[in-house]
Amino acid sequence: MSEFTKTPGWLDWYAGPSKPRFQVPAGAVDAHCHVFGPGAEFPYAPERKYTPCDASKHQLYALRDHLGFARNVVVQATCHGADNRAMVDALVHSGGKARGVATVKRSVTDEELQAMHDAGVRGVRFNFVKRLVDFTPKDELMEIAARIAELGWHVVIYFEAVDLPELWDFFTALPTTVVVDHMGRPDVSKPVDGPEFELFLKFMRQHPNVWSKVSCPERLSVTGPKALNGEQNAYQDVVPFARKVVTEFPDRVLWGTDWPHPNLKDHMPDDGLLVDFIPHIAPTAELQRKLLVDNPMRLYWPEEVTQKG
Ligand SMILES: O=C(O)c1cc(C(=O)O)oc(=O)c1
C-alpha cells in the first residue's frame, strides 16, 4: 500500500486496452512513456505538482508486448522530480529494451551521470510547462546541456506553443540534438498554416538538430472523437498538424504512447486505439518505419544501427 493520495479527479490508465488493428513494424519503439513509482518503492518527489496512480515497469512492459512494440524510451515524469530511481530501475530491468531520459540538477556529479549512462539514459528533459514544474534558471540548464553533450546525450524540451517565441534563443543555442515533446503543444483549434504552428515549423526547418515527437493527440485534441469504444478515426483535429511534421521531417520524428498519460482531465484513451492513430499521421510504410524504428534506433540505440552506404 502506498501512502500517497492521488490528485483529486486523477484518471487512471486504461485497463484492458484493445489489440491495435494497425500492426507496427518489427522493432518498433514507443519513444515516450513514463513509469510512476510504485510510490511505496519509489516515493513521489516532495516538490511534485500532482500525485498520480502507480504505473510500474511491469505494467509498462506488459503494454509494450500487448501493443506489439519491441522497445521503450522511458521519460522521467515530473512527479518524480530529479529523483530518477524509478526510471533507471525500469531501464535496468528491461533486458536492454529500454533507454531513458532523465531530469537532473546542476548538482549532479559526473559519476551519477556516468551511472545513468551505463543504465541506458541518453538524454535530459528540460520542462517549461508551468503547471508541471517550477522555473529553473536558463544558465543552469545551459550548463547541464554542455555537460551531457560530452556523453553524446540529447535534450528533450517540453513547452507550450505560446511560449516558443520567448524560449527561441535558448532552444537554438543548445549544443545537442533537441527533441520537442508533443509537437510543442500546438493549439489545434488554430489553423495548421497559421502563424503559431508556422513558427514551430520554422524552428524545425532552420535547425536540423531539432526533432519532434508527434505524440499526445489525446492531450491536444479539442473536438475528438476520443480513442474509445473502437473509434478508428480518433482526434481528427490533430491529424493535419502531426501529418505535416511527419511528412516534412520524416527523419526527425518520434512517436510514443505517453502511457500512463499524466494529468488527462477529460478521458483516458484506449492505448490500442492510440496505435491505430499512427497510420493517419504516417500514411506510408516507409514513413511508419522511419517514425517507429529507424529514427528512435538512430537516437537511442545508435550502436545497433548498421551503417549504410
Ligand atoms: O502534459 C502533461 O501533463 C505531461 C506531464 C508529464 C510529466 O509530468 O512528466 O509528461 C508529459 O509528457 C506530459
CA 102 to chain centre: 12
Provide the pLDDT for residue 309.
45
* Rounded-to-integer distance, Cα 129 and Cα 110, Å: 27
Provide the pLDDT for residue 306.
78
Instruction: Name the E strands within 255-303.
Output: none
| Angstrom distances, CA of residue 156 to CA of 28, 140, 153, 225, 231 | 20, 15, 10, 29, 31
181, 258, 270, 271: which is the annotated catalytic residue?
A: 258
> Atom 6 of ligand 1 has which residue's CA nearest to it?
77
What atom in ligand 1 is closest to the CA of residue 131? 3
> Atom 12 of ligand 1 has which residue's CA nearest to it?
258
> Atom 9 of ligand 1 has which residue's CA nearest to it?
77
Q: Do residues 106 and 144 touch, judged by C-beta distance below 8 A?
A: yes
What atom in ligand 1 is closest to the CA of residue 258? 12
Mutate to test the pocket of ligand 1, among 49, 103, 263 (most ligand atoms within 8 A of CB): 263
**Ligand 1 center from residue 21 Cα (angstroms):** 27
Q: Is 65 a catalytic residue?
A: no
**Ligand 1 center from residue 304 Cα (angstroms):** 29
* Rounded-to-integer distance, Cα 76 and Cα 87, Å: 6
pLDDT per 10-residue tile (average), the chain, 309 residues: 87 98 98 98 98 98 98 98 98 98 98 98 97 95 98 98 97 98 97 98 98 98 97 98 98 98 97 98 98 98 81
Mutate to test the pocket of ligand 1, among 78, 129, 215 (most ligand atoms within 8 A of CB): 78
> Atom 8 of ligand 1 has which residue's CA nearest to it?
78
Provide the pLDDT for residue 3.
84
Provide the pLDDT for residue 308.
59
**Ligand 1 center from residue 92 Cα (angstroms):** 23
Phi-psi region of 101 (alpha: psi -120 to 50; beta: other; left: phi over 0): beta
- pLDDT digit string (tens) for 195-216? 999 999 999 999 999 999 999 9
Q: Do residues 190 and 153 touch, judged by C-beta distance below 8 A?
A: no
Peptide bond into 262 cis (omega under 30): no
**Ligand 1 center from residue 145 Cα (angstroms):** 21
**Ligand 1 center from residue 138 Cα (angstroms):** 20
**Ligand 1 center from residue 19 Cα (angstroms):** 25
Amino acid identity at 230: G
> Atom 4 of ligand 1 has which residue's CA nearest to it?
262
Residues having CB closer than 6 A to ligand 1 are 77-79, 132, 181, 219, 258, 262-263
Task: Give the pairing of strands 121-127 and 29-33.
Answer: unpaired
**Ligand 1 center from residue 35 Cα (angstroms):** 11
What atom in ligand 1 is closest to the CA of residue 79? 8
What atom in ligand 1 is closest to the CA of residue 76? 9
Q: Do residues 200 and 184 touch, judged by C-beta distance below 8 A?
A: yes
What atom in ligand 1 is closest to the CA of residue 132? 8
The answer to pTM > 0.95 is yes
